[in-house]
Structure 1
Amino acid sequence: MIWYDVEKYKGDYKLNQRLFFLDNIRVFLTILLVIFHTSIAYGAAGSWILEDVDKSDVNATVALLTIFTAVCQSFFMGLFFFISSYFFPTSYEKKGAFRFLSGRLVRLGIPLLTYYFVIGPMTVWFAKFRDQQTLVQFYKDNVWSFRWTFFGPTWFLEASIYFTLLYVLFRFVIRDRFKMRSMLFPNGKTLVVVAIVLGLIAFVVRLIYPTGTGPLELQLGYFPSYILLFIAGIIAQKQRWLEQIPEKLQRIWKWVAIGMIPVLPLGLILTGGLEGDVHFEGGFNIQALFYAMWEPFICLGIIISMLSFFIRRFNKTNVLSKWLSENAYTVYLIHPPIIVGWTLAFHGIDLPAIIKWIIVSALSIAVCFIGASVIRMLPYARRVL
């Protein structure tokens, strides 16, 4: 589970003090997720429940927010999967297959069903259909009929359930027959090869499933990196990779990530982006190949840099960071209706889209964490959240 209890694992992990940096990364990623979805509401490429700008009018705000979301998309959900799987081996070996699986299904399944049948549909209805039909009719036409799906951001929980089942099956099949040999943290050449192969696989997958598409709201065009990082999290825990990241490698890949950020917009401009010829989401074209190859370098560079930075600087906790960490999972679940609510509140107000984005992001983050704290006071809520 990506939202784990630090105290629960003390004694299971050699670097007790370093557990806090994973909590702090998780909080950062959750806040970034709220800002990410608000960015789409105010001009960034992508789909969101309620959008407040005309994206056909390409301007500086649209371009800036699209670059921002492209960079975020390259790494942040993959890093969630990495953190999610990091404690799999320890938890599985401590609890056994049945308790491990049942615990995961409860912590993932109940929030998933709550979002799918309550939070998601009600948010979509209020954002788009409240003036057209009653909530009861909306449920009858679209929810209970399963005409539409309402996974929303809980596609991550859906995917995590599938990954958990596969992990348990793998452990059951191999039992004690497989012994992982010692593996050092990948060197620079290995990381370059991994990035290239990952980009080529993503390009091929996107020939069938362009970004933003896939069954049951699983955007399969991004899954090559998700799968890799999920597996990397398991290996990293067993091999203690987070203790081994070389400083030189950290510095190099930090500059790789920084240097690669402007490459995407430049590449799109050179291939006709300013004339509206934009089709990097997938298909057999140069933009799709360019985007697929760009993503892994950004992804690996930012993740290596972020892990190293948080280990050095945020290896601690305090009252505020502990409170944020405890409420982060609930924030993940409730942020869509809160973003939609603030977007509607500012609709029609004559402010530049970039200013609305900043204001709505800040207000949404604040209300999300306060609301999450209140929700977790409900009976039995903390058993799941």
Structure 2
Amino acid sequence: MDEVTKRLTEFSKKTIELGELEKLLTPFFQTYETFADRILQFEKENVLIMVRSTGRTTRTPSLALKYRINKSALSGNYHKELQRYRAKLHTAINLDGYYRADPSLWEKHLPYLLKIDRYLKTHGFPTDLVPAPERSYELVEDEKWIDEKGGKELLEKIGLYARLTIIPVSDPLMFAINPLKLNEKEQYHLIVENKTTYQGLLPVLKETDCATLIYGCGKAVVKSIEQFPMQYPISAKHHFLYFGDLDREGLSIWYSLNQKQAARPALPFYQACLKKAPAVGKAYQRSRSVAEDQFLACFSEQQAERIRTMLHDGKYYPQEILKTRELQHIWRGTDWKSLICAKS
């Protein structure tokens, strides 16, 4: 899609007067004649449809004084372009996601797609695991592209990220291991948001159902959880539980983590918090409704409504509201295996 077609696609109104059209498009044409020829071509393609009641100019070539923009015809041209590139690019590059996306995304991604196409046709798929910056430079000659400039999202969109044997670059995941659970076929892992809670629970790790206690370090766990399979290469079915601050930020962290690695809220800890008076002072936190809705769906209706009201009033429960003895009692005393099975 060229810049002229893109400008028309992005124009917000359904009709456009000739004066507006000239203002929008003449920067791309040196003469009236070349501008008019392109507009007449759009007329021929049914992209621009003359509003008959307004008439036409007396200039040569003559143009309509007002047009209706046929966005579906524009989409048709865009889809034809996608089909042309589908035939040209490496067969492993999946363009299906672009048919439903804004054409501007396609324009933004196309230069990278061409570089990826060249790499695959020259080298094929790699077999060696390498860090993201190294693979990023090989693909597009920019070592920051995958991790910092949207490259990972593009590669996932075209179905290639998993096939390019990339080691994600993030801080190591911090966790303690329960040696008594290493050989179990089903293993349970508790992730806690804050350092204080981690330190409080650590002494009783070997007395629990869990194989590891993971320190989430706030938002950092959303990235560092990617390291888990490499740092803990134990063949088993792994179940993750999460306990964080019961505030909007804590719910948002859980939601982002859950998108990467399924992690159930560790309900007994949260339910123990609800037995206490909440703290005040988080009214400034922004609501993320999808995170709140999915998190609260794990609770009873009564508990969910209580949490929703508390958050609305700017109140919250920090993890530290549970003292060390309470934390340890809950962790040791809960049958986490049965709890997870009951929710499955």
Same fold (TM over 0.5): no
Greater Rg, structure 1 or structure 2? 2
Higher RCO (CA 8 Å, separation ≥ 6 residues)? 1
More helix by share: 1
More strand by share: 2
- TM-score band w.r.t. shorter chain: under 0.3
